[in-house]
Amino acid sequence: EVQLVESGGGLVQPGGSLTLTCGASGFTVNSNYMNWVRQAPGKGLEWVSILHGGGDKFYADSVKGRFTISRDNSKNTMYLQMNSLRVEDTAVYYCARGGLDGMDVWGQGTTVTVSS
């Protein structure tokens, strides 16, 4: 079964760090485009970052320089390292597989709360 499972969310103080994990099954992350998308409470969807199969990485302006996307091929897992967290980074974070045919597989989401 093709599946994504996120973990690593939690409560962190402003300025703190957190690393989110997205484990894949049924396909390999290094052969696909992999995304992070977030949704602040009561708000719409916001694309955060993408990691191409070939290794190229792109970020939303709002997280550039603070967040880093990466993967571990041996674990078939993708990560989002988040530094210098701000209150406005509070959201449910989803990982999603997707490239030219849209984001077709999504995880269940993990909640990040940035608060003092």
Partner 1 sequence: DIQMTQSPSTLSASVGDGVTITCRASQTVSGWLAWYQQKPGKAPKLLIYRASSLKSGVPSRFSGSGSGTEFTLTISSLQPDDFATYYCQQYNSYPFTFGGGTKVDIK
Strands 34-39 and 18-25: unpaired
- List, in sequence order, the alpha helices (H) in 35-93: none
Number of residues that bind partner 1 (CB under 8 A): 24
Per CB under 8 A, does 47 bind partner 1?
yes
Q: Which is nearer to partner 1, 65 or 100 (CB)?
A: 100
Under the binding rule (CB under 8 A), the answer on residue 88 touching partner 1 is no
Identity of residue 70? S
Contact criterion met (CB below 8 Å) for 2 and 104: no
| Closest to 30 (Cα-Cα) out of 77, 63, 69 | 77
| 106 binds partner 1 per the rule CB under 8 A | yes
Stretch that binds partner 1, among 9-17, 24-32, 38-46, 79-87 (CB under 8 A): 38-46
Q: Site residues (CB under 8 A) for partner 1?
A: 35, 37, 44-47, 50, 58-61, 94, 96, 98-104, 106-109
